[in-house]
Amino acid sequence: MNSSCLKFLFLKSAFALFACVILFTATNASAQKLPIIVGGTIETGTGVMADDEQGTGIVRITPQIGAWIMGLGYFRVGYGLYNFTVHPDEDEKETVRHRDISLQLGIALGTGPYLEGSYTRAKNLCDLGDVAWNEWGIGLGTMFNIGASSALVMELEYRWVLSHYDPLQEEKINGSRLQLNLGFVVYVY
């Protein structure tokens, strides 16, 4: 058999395999009614906070969208924004615009709890200087259905805040925190 004939058979086989995967995925997704979720999460923690302070309190409130396949896991994307005021000098105040995008992946551990990992890219923007940093987290969570199309989410995770220089405090910030995430999601079929 010559090489052009082998290439043709390979391409034909690859196309047939690709078509089968597409057909299986589409059939499986429609049978499960792949649930798209829309919701939000409030993140509370103790340790290094999103505004570069040490303490306990609300870290951020993040609206989210994603996909949640029961028994397998989920993927969520969130985008949060808020402003806060700081006083670097006694007679001066500065407004900081905080922005963050977060990605979360959960893997089911049977029918109840799931293992979750998260990544957040956070930014504080102000006139004295902008700062951006990464946060990584790992933890356990669970979901409580409160109807056919909604659920409560509870997660406990350990977060690492990677090193970054804060121009407002004029110091390098890094550390970690223990974080509790409470959320509400609605399934959109």
| pLDDT, tens digit only, all 189 positions of the chain | 554 544 444 445 545 444 444 444 344 444 445 688 999 999 888 887 765 567 787 888 899 999 988 788 899 999 988 887 877 677 678 888 888 999 999 998 877 789 999 999 988 888 878 888 899 999 999 888 888 888 899 999 999 988 887 776 677 878 888 999 999 999 886
25/14 Cα distance (integer angstroms): 16
Contact (CB, 8 A) for 45 and 179: yes
H or E stretch covering 81: strand 73-89
Question: Beta strand pairing status for 92-108 and 54-69?
Answer: unpaired
CATH number of 35-188, picked from 3.40.640.10, 1.10.357.10, 3.40.50.2300, 2.40.160.20: 2.40.160.20
